[in-house]
Amino acid sequence: KKGHWIEQGGYLDKEPPKPETSILVREVYRNEETGEVTLKLTPQNGDKVYYEINGDATSASLEVKNLNEFKTSELSLSFLCVDSSGEHDTGSLVYWKNKVRVQYDTFDKDGMKQIELKSSPNVVIKYTTDGSSPKESGGIYEGVFEIPKGTKFVQAVAVNEELGIYSDVIQIPIKEDKIEINKDKPLVLN
């Protein structure tokens, strides 16, 4: 229990190997507008943490200076924990992926319904207006567009296909601005 001896293959080893380094990565804050995330990094059996953007971290990568408040808007990072004293062997990389989401705003301009889409962090947005899946058959969002008449909803997804990062597909209901008048009933104003 104290780690002085260890059982391996039915034999007791009086000098078990020291555990490898590792790192715990925890998200402590997310800015939903920008996609910037604050991470808390807790090294295990090591004292230095290195990171790499969209690749594998090594001891030649950038060193994390503030383990309690590591801020990033990157989509994909890897972390490596190293014991500078050499007492513990360097363990495996830890990979972290940011979450992306789609935000939207619908409005009227010159009597036509318009929609603006935004992703945080900023990645490609695919969308459809015909009910089909935006992942498979969506058009690439390039700016505010007019919603075609008769559209019941717009579906959108934020993607970075190279890194395999996808937001949840959002379904934006589009309401017709029609006032139904029943000629058989009098109009009552409150």
Distance (Å) of CA 84 to CA 22, 47, 60 = 13, 7, 13
Q: Is 106 helix (H, G, I), strand (E, B) or coil?
A: strand
- Which tokens belong to 156? 């959108």
For the segment 1-47, what is each residue's pLDDT rounded down to a tens digit? 565 666 667 776 666 678 899 999 999 999 988 899 999 999 999 99
The answer, yes or no, to whether residue 58 has pLDDT greater than 70, is yes
Residue 67: the pLDDT is 97
Residues 5 and 108: their CA atoms lie apart, in Å, by 73
Share of the chain above pLDDT 90, in %: 71
Mean pLDDT of the chain: 88
Count of C-beta atoms within a 10 Å radius of residue 25: 15
Give tens-digit pLDDT for 35-56: 999 999 999 999 999 999 999 9
State phi, psi for 136 to the nearest 5 degrees.
-90, -40
1 or 108: which leads in pLDDT = 108
Q: Could you tell me the two tokens for 176? A: 């017709």
Percent of the chain clearing pLDDT 70 (strictly above):
85
183 or 65, which is more confident: 65
Closest CA to 40 of 31, 27, 58, 51: 27
Cα–Cα dist 20/45, whole Å: 7
pLDDT tens for each residue of 145-162: 999 988 999 999 999 988
Contact assessment for residue 98 and residue 76, using Cβ atoms and an 8 Å cutoff? yes
Q: pLDDT band at residue 175, thresholds of 50, 70 and 90?
A: confident
